Structure 1
Amino acid sequence: MAHILTAVEGSTVDVVPIRRALISVSDKTGIVEFAQFLASQNVELLSTGGTAKKLRDAGMTVKDVSEYTGAAECLDGRVKTLHPKVHGGLLAVRGNAQHEAQMKEQGMSFIDMTILNLYPFEATVKSGASLAQCVENIDIGGPSMLRSTAKNHNFTTIVTDPAQYAEIQAEMAANSGGTTLALRRRLAAKAFALTASYDSAIATHLAQEMAKLEAPAEPPTVPTLTSKVVVPRVYQPEFPLKYGCNPHQKPAMILSRAGSKLPFDVLNGTPGYINLLDAANAWQLVVELKEGTGLTAASSFKHVSPAGAAVAVPLSDVECQAYEVKPEDRDSLTPSALAYLRARNADPMCSFGDFCAVSDVVDEGTAKYLKKEVSDGIVAPGYTPEALEILKSKKGGKFIILQATDNYQPGDVEYREVYGMTFSQKRNDVVLTKEDMTKQIVTSKNELSEGAIRDLIVASICIKYTQSNSVGFAKDGMMVGVGAGQQSRVDCVKLAGRKVSTWYLRQHPKVLALPFKEGVKRQDRVNARVRYIEGDFTDEEKVRWEAQFSSPPEALTAEEKAAFLKEATGISISSDAFFPFRDSIDHASKVGVSFVAQPGGSVQDPQVTEACNDYGMAMCFTGTRLFHH
């Protein structure tokens, strides 16, 4: 038990006994039990309105604040705690002779603890209430008492959350009815963060209302902010990170918006900075794929761009061979396992060490498949008990498992700090659907199969979460080539097109028949097949590569590759912005593209449309640019 110190003028004390508490809460969760505990510690209870009634109904003795102050509540309850006897009791410095003399003259008494909640302003806004109703729910007395109590935390204890009750009870029980300075400081810091968040919400809402008045002819589709109002943002720390993007970038931390939780709960492992960026993008992608196609979806992310993404579409016999799925296991693949298997096999070299997301609850079959792959973590809406145990054992128990927050609301407007500047924009919440792929088909070939529509949706949503410039190719519900972050659009097409060729050639009979020795690891087999397709070995590299086989494989010639690639067809391509020239279409024709989606809007649209007609492709304009930076 800490020693209770006697206060002297100007000093701080460690443990301060609680003798009088003021209670005024809108959230009455646990307040009766907490107040009963305080009463058991001989704490005098002051209270207001509905709180006082609830405590009396529970059989407790409570003094009304109006009785304590000698001033009745007035102005429809707007004035009840704004009184010198309240704030004097909270702000007086214990041990200060002048303060104590003045308190005696004015009939004031020390108030050692304040327990309060603020009026539910944000909840009132979210309910769609009028501006007048929202303004009426701006708390005045609550923040005033909170600030007075928190400012004088050397002697007073501010309690703002029912979640704090248990800790305070335990501390008072251990300290003869008192609280320690360390606890009071921590509670004060949280209290000031609460008022900052509260004022931020008020300022933001009033700014949005002002913006509507400034542009009455065209009300904004989402609330916007006027440039004439300062916009405060308040964050609360959730957990520290080992470091940021690089080991020398310390300290690093994850914070949530005050009053809101994170989009994920950490079930296992210790996520890093880039892990969580990948998780945020990967999760949004699969949610939108599920919404856009109606199929279970998965994605495989590396460095904040997808290596692959897919929806659950059955595998062909050749795909089973290429992806090392035994024929007898194909029919038992669950939609989640099938979606992730396809996502991972879009580009298995780039997916090495990925962070993945699955739109549906992860089952045992998905977990068993994932356990075989080199991966850092996963985010999903939930896990079966069997799947969770399997995944927890991965990577020696370090595999990162995140569970997405149900019905998480990220907000309409997002903010980002870069080099001392804060950027603000409406969140890119557009979800592309079948309607976007069929509303404006501009080519001579103007029919899209259901499979083509599905693949165009998959490709378009995937590139929405790919660092721009970006294009993506899709086939059979999966990405088969993603080109990210190139300054030239045709370079994106060439980069992604090379990946398409590699994906397709992985199904070549000579690739499928490579005679691996027993014991060659799965990822080594993946890499060896890709290098066989590429074929540009150094002499030293070829020696090590051939050592993986029971006999040296016969080369896959350029002629054989070209002949096999000529059979490729039915592939879809989507671009995050318009094609500025036909060169992208010319190159896409080399890898079997039959369907094209792009926003349109370029002066070169007629030229690009003509190129599609030349190759017999169908092209739609979505009208939506999807840059992602």
Structure 2
Amino acid sequence: MSQELMLKYGCNPNQKPSRIFMQDGRDLPIEVLNGRPGYINFLDAFNSWQLVRELKEATGLPAAASFKHVSPAGAAVAVPMSDTLKKIYFVDDLELSPIATAYARARGADRMSSYGDWVALSDVCDKETATLLAREVSDGIIAPGYTDEALEILKTKRKGTYNVVKIDPDYRPAPVEHKDVFGVTFEQGRNELKIDAELLKNIVTEKKDLPEEAKRDLIISLIALKYTQSNSVCYAKDGQAIGIGAGQQSRIHCTRLAGNKADIWYLRQHPKVLGLKFKEGIRRPDRDNTIDVYISDEYMDVLADGVWEQFFAEKPEVLTREEKRAWLDTMTGVSLGSDAFFPFGDNIERARKSGVQYVAEPGGSIRDDHVIDTCNKYGMVMAFIGLRLFHH
């Protein structure tokens, strides 16, 4: 390890010179085992590593994240998957270890956004995870270690240039952090507040029952939000994020964006989607894109243009709006976290359409009473955590 690492360029090719370095004289806490990670790669790596480390500490389960442009496309812990999830995540033909299961879930949350992702694992990368990664389009990975077999597999990706970073799991940063913007240095204390079930005790709705699975999913959503560009909202279910809305200027747009992603995640499990027959040789990214179009209202245009013949072995039946709504109405038990308070009940109205039953948000709006009333209207459970999670 060394105190600095020169990079090819910064966020864009014209931004040179570029490097990462330690100002306190210590060595960097990472070792590049393969490839040449760039500036954005390391932003993804360090944010995603913090996320999975905290998920592991909070839940006791192996955790993984799939990052794009310094926000998670997905985050998950190692909860066993149903056969349906294995099929829609394209892993039904693989042996999956716990850490491989966590990554399959993290990438499966939003496969389109995870295309070309940065991967973070809380545990040592094993052969099963590397085998899964070998056939996906990805930019790199950070983990506390790699088995010999895993490293050998990963070194074959991208013609030998796949970025593999090992991080010291015992590294802890200084309690005060800095960054420069427009030549001005900003300083703040690190956001070290612990996110766990203790935060969920202040339940403000009429309904108070918060099952253990919902607590786990709310913790997953809140930890994911801690490392998501704000404003942000996260829907979670079954041990994983299923829809993340990041970087929006209004909270309702976060809630809609994340809710739409959660809807797509669930619609991918519809029998008509599971029954789609693709042509031989269609690549996984093309399947993801085609499924996304099939689920959307754009599919009628695809039918009219005859484009379906490029991808499908036989013409699929239309999945009507009525069928989609009926299917989405069966989605229940979803948890929703927000990095700041909901200013109006419209966020709850939208969340309900995606099966949300459990909510965690800071509270503190002058309209808290309206938000609580809206939750009561639909029999939801909501906790005020008293903790804002902005990340910029």
Out of 241, 244, 251, the residue aligned to residue 479 of structure 1 is 241
Correspondence 1:93-242 to 2 at 5 A:
238-242=4-8
Deviations 1:445-495 (A, max 9, x none): 101111100000000000110000000000001100000011110110001
SS in 1 for 2:254: helix
Structure 2: how far apart are the matches of 1:352 and 1:406?
A: 27
Mapped contact 2:302–2:308 kept (Cα < 8 A): no
Task: Tell me which residue corresponds to 2:30.
Answer: 264
Equivalence for 1:69: none
Q: 1:513 to 1:564 in 2, by over 3 A?
A: same
Q: Check conservation: 2:71, 2:246, Cα contact below 8 A.
A: yes
2:359 matches 1:596: yes
Decide which of 53, 69, 82 is 1:287's aligned counterpart. Answer: 53
> Shift in Å at residue 436 of structure 1?
1.0
Q: Is the 8 A contact 1:431 1:461 kept in 2?
A: no
- Cα deviation for residue 444 of structure 1 reads 1.1
Deviation readout 1:130-169 (Å, 9 max, x if unpaired): xxxxxxxxxxxxxxxxxxxxxxxxxxxxxxxxx9xxxxxx
Q: 1:529 aligns with which of 273, 291, 296?
A: 291
Counterpart-to-counterpart distance in 2, 1:523 and 1:429: 37
d(CA) in 2 for partners of 1:321, 1:246:
37
What secondary structure is seen at the aligned counterpart in 1 of 2:353?
helix
Does the 8 A contact of 2:3 with 2:27 survive in 1? no
SS at the partner of 1:395? helix
Residue 323 in structure 1 maps to residue 89 in structure 2: yes
- AA of the residue aligned to 2:57: E
Query: Residues 580-619 of structure 1: matches in 2 within 5 Å?
Result: 580-619=343-382
For residues 278 and 362 of structure 2, the distance between their equivalents in structure 1, rounded to whole angstroms, comes to: 45
| Structure 1, 362-371 or 249-258: larger mean CA deviation | 249-258
Which letter does structure 2 place at the counterpart of 1:415? H
Superposed displacement of residue 541, structure 1: 9.4
Residues 363 and 385 in structure 2, CA contact (< 8 A), matched pair in contact too: yes
Match of 1:353 among 95, 99, 116: 116
1:239 deviation in Å?
Answer: 2.2
Amino acid at match of 1:339: A
CA distance in 1: counterparts of 2:29 and 2:110, whole angstroms: 28
| 2:126 match | 363
Q: Which residue matches 1:207?
A: none
**Amino acid aligned to 1:366:** T
Q: Which residue of 1 aligns with 2:42?
A: 276
1:551 aligns with 2:314: yes
SS of 1:356's partner is strand
Match of 2:188 among 422, 425, 448: 425
Shift in alpha-carbon separation, 1:248–1:625, aligned structure 2, 3 A: same
SS of match in other structure, 1:282: helix
Higher relative contact order (CA 8 A, sep 6+): 2
Q: CA deviation at 1:540?
A: 9.4
Q: Is 1:298 aligned to 2:61, yes or no? A: no
In structure 2, do the counterparts of structure 1 residues 541 and 381 end up closer, same or farther at CA, with 3 Å as the change threshold? farther
CA distance in 1, matches of 2:345, 2:327: 25
Provide the rounded CA distance (Å) in 1 between the counterparts of 2:108 and 2:250. 26
CA RMSD of aligned residues (A): 1.6
Structure 2 match to 1:516: 278
Q: Are residues 539 and 359 of structure 1, via their aligned partners in 2, closer, same or farther at CA, if it must alter by over 3 Å?
A: closer
Contact 1:300 1:307 in 2 (8 A): yes
Q: What whole-Å deviation, never above 9, does each CA across 1:237-258 have from its counterpart, x for those lacking one? A: 6222111111111221222223
Which of 209, 216, 223 does residue 447 from structure 1 map onto? Answer: 209
Equivalent residue letter for 1:308:
G
**Structure 1 residue 542 displacement after superposition:** 4.8
8 Å CA contact 2:3, 2:26 repeated in 1: no
Residue number among 374, 395, 407 corresponding to 2:158 in the alignment = 395
Q: How many residues align?
A: 391
1:535 Cα deviation after fit: 3.2
Whether the aligned pair in 2 keeps the contact of 1:309 and 1:342 (CA below 8 Å) is: yes
The structure-2 alpha-carbon separation of the partners of 1:312 and 1:543, relative to structure 1 and needing over 3 Å to count, comes to: same
Equivalent-residue separation in structure 2 for 1:550 and 1:544 (angstroms): 12
Any unmatched runs of 5+ in structure 1? 1-162, 164-235
Shift of 1:572: 0.4
Name the structure 1 match of 2:174: 411
2:262 maps to a residue whose letter is: V
After superposition, the C-alpha distances for 1:256-280 in whole angstroms (9 at most, x for unaligned) are 2232122321111000010000001
The CA deviation at 1:595 is: 0.3
Change (3 A) 1:358 1:541: farther
CA contact (8 A) 1:304 1:466 kept: yes
Q: Please, what TM-score do these two structures have when normalized by structure 2?
A: 0.97
Deviations along 1:79-124, one digit per CA (max 9) or x if unpaired, are: xxxxxxxxxxxxxxxxxxxxxxxxxxxxxxxxxxxxxxxxxxxxxx
Distance in 2 between residues matched to 1:406 and 1:443, nearest whole Å: 40
Aligned to 1:506: 268
Does 2:77 correspond to 1:308? no
Partner secondary structure for residue 616 of structure 1: coil
Q: Cα offset for 1:539? A: 5.3
Unaligned runs of 5+ in 2: none
Which residue of the partner structure matches residue 134 of structure 1? none
Q: Structure 1 segments of 4 or more deviating over 6 A?
A: none
Tell me if structure 2 keeps the 8 A contact 1:286–1:359.
Answer: yes
Contact 2:91 2:104 in 1 (8 A): no
**Residue among 101, 115, 118 paired with 1:338:** 101
**2:387 corresponding residue in structure 1:** 624
Give the structure 2 partner of residue 87 of structure 1: none
| TM-fit CA distance, 1:546 | 3.1
1:559 and 1:436 map into 2 onto residues whose CA distance is: 39
- Shift of the alpha carbon at 1:354? 0.1
Q: Which amino acid aligns with 2:139?
A: D
Q: Using the alignment, how far apart are the partners of 2:108 and 2:169 within structure 1?
A: 29
Q: Shift of residue 360 of structure 1?
A: 0.4
CA positional deviation for 1:428: 0.7
AA of the residue aligned to 1:443: T
What letter is aligned with 2:199? D
545 and 411 in structure 1: CA distance in 2 versus 1, 3 angstrom threshold: farther
Q: Say whether the 8 Å CA contact 1:262–1:405 is kept in structure 2.
A: no
Alpha-carbon distance between aligned partners in 2 of 1:550 and 1:401, rounded to the nearest angstrom:
38
Kindly indicate whether the alpha-carbon contact (under 8 Å) linking 1:546 and 1:553 is maintained by their aligned counterparts in 2: no
Tell me how far apart the structure 2 counterparts of residues 567 and 608 of structure 1 sit (CA, whole Å): 24
The separation in 2 between residues aligned to 1:599 and 1:344, in whole angstroms, is 28
Deviation at 1:317, TM superposition (A): 2.4
Aligned to 1:76: none
Between Structure 1 and Structure 2, the one with more helix by share is 1
CA distance in 2, matches of 1:403, 1:237: 15
